[in-house]
A and B are shown apart, each in its own frame.
Chain A
Amino acid sequence: MQRPDRREANQIRSLHCMLGQLSRVDGSAQFSSGKTSVLCGVYGPIDVKVYDEKLDRAHIEVKFRPDIGVPTTKDKWVESAVRSTFEKEVLAQLHPRTLVQINLQVRENDGSVDATAINATTMALVDAGVPMKTTVAAAACVVLKDGSIVADPTKEEAELAVSTHTFAFANGSSDGPLYVDSRGRFSMAEYNRCYDLCRLTCDRILAFMRTALESKIQKESAISAV
């Protein structure tokens, strides 16, 4: 089966990540997969509102803004997805009675936005120096009408899909998922094939994240050495 952009079925779009673009936040990252691009700015740990204050850990807040228009319940849904993914991965107990605020802004939406938002958040949290158990990567894939599975779908491909699957995995040895959102009509066999594909994709994304962080650190140490 030929994909509109001539990619292989298991091929993701080219990844791009820029760190520390924003100067007023504690950490920021722009993560792009093909045309889809999400900008993330992280503040934290900062002062928390009394209502949200937690005595034994930091409160984690996520704000997600779409590329067009004002935020709707759809965006609240993404906020909750991102928060639930990072709530247990950020070492929140190290900063009790504080707030870690994650601000996400979609720059362009060409499919797989949820996964890209999670990837951007990981990079921004690392850039901000927020302590985490490990890095997190997310990937999406769709099952098309003919039963074929394609990785990192564009908006056009996602609209034609019978089911869409988004998985997030933590970097490390454990093989379990951190976040799963599979919707549409599918069988468990299809789910497992999507799981395997996204697991492989996430490993690639995690390797990419590592390279992006290494090159940033190298650049910084080169500057400080001069």
Chain B
Amino acid sequence: MAAAETTTPGQLSFAIETFERIHPTEFQRRFLSQGTRHDGRGFAQFRPTHIVRSTISTAQGSATVRIGNTTVVCGIKAEVSEPDVSTPKAGYLVTNVELSPMCSARFRPGAPSEQAQVASEHISRLFQSAIDVESLGIEEGRACWVLYADIVCIKHDGNVLDAAIVALQAALRDLQLPKVEFDAVSGVVSADKSKMQPLEVEALYPTTLSVLDGNYLVADADDAEEQMAASSVLVVLTDSAVANIWKRGALVERKLVEKCVAMAEARKQELATLLN
């Protein structure tokens, strides 16, 4: 073997793939200490992001988002239902994030994983304030629109939350609701499909940053990097304000969170051009 001949006796030598598998942290560290990442990106560099709208013709609104290898599809189904007693004028948005075994070997079939449930809940809370739920009302106390947003991850290569938020955002902008009439006597809602109208959605721009190996702040971590991340920061911006800062994991410096928001501002420009 050529490789074995060139090494000095007593020194181990193996392929880079083997090194990555048996010492993932050390493997990443070698790149980080050289000021780069294992896929050649700079610390603040995001993977190429693609947004395609109306990818599912059978859904009322849909979008597919790719961030590098991470792929997320979002489909929205609109149904007419009775409004909640506590909010008789409003409709509602139901989000469901699916992380099936299809997207990564880490997920098991069956009940949704904690990660999926937490992502669903987080996205639902974010979008509650981004759409005007009262515009989904049809007749006070009688009928309203319910938007079922199914967010399915097809390929999980890190940063699924960003991809899911962007996908739902694009799908909501793609959504067209028919003009409806409510008949108070029969209680029937009739739709006029010739008059479709879009939904007002406030723009949300998500950015996830991770802290690797103690002090390297990297943008848009992929799956391998996410596995070794000590902490992560999600920053969601709107056009004029901050909508969410969500920092989890190990202790970080105060300034780091502010740095994350500054980096999110740069990413916002990029996402805004992609979404519009």
- The chain A residues found within 8 Å of chain B, CB to CB, are 73-74, 76-77, 79-81, 84-85, 87-88, 170, 174-188, 191, 195
Contacts and interface: CB of A to CB of B under 8 A. Distances in A.
B121 A73 contact: yes
A174 B253 CA distance: 8
B271 to A, nearest CB: 18
Contacts of A195: 254
Contacts of A179: 247-248
Contacts of B230: 88
Nearest to A133: B251
B69 to A, nearest CB: 25
B238 interface: yes
A176 B253 contact: yes
The 9 A-B pairs with the shortest beta carbon distances in the complex, nearest first, are: A84-B248, A180-B247, A88-B250, A77-B121, A182-B245, A76-B117, A73-B121, A185-B241, A176-B253
Interface string B98-129: 00000000000000001001101110111001
A174 B245 CA distance: 20
B228 interface: no
Interface in B213-266: 230-231, 233, 238, 241-254, 256-258, 261
A184 B243 CA distance: 5
Nearest to B248: A84
B-side binding surface: helix, strand, loop or mixed? mixed
Nearest to A74: B121
Contact of A76 (B121, B238, B247, B257): B121
Contacts of B233: 180
B243 A185 contact: yes
Contacts, number: 81
> Could you say which interface size class chain B belongs to?
20 to 34
Contact of B114 (A74, A79, A176, A177): A79
A170 B257 CA distance: 16
Contact of A183 (B117, B244, B250, B253): B244
A186 B241 contact: yes
Contacts of B244: 182-183
Contacts of B121: 73-74, 76-77
A176 B256 contact: yes
Contact of A177 (B120, B126, B242, B252): B252
Contacts of A81: 248
Nearest to B97: A73
Contacts of A188: 242, 258, 261
A181 B249 contact: no
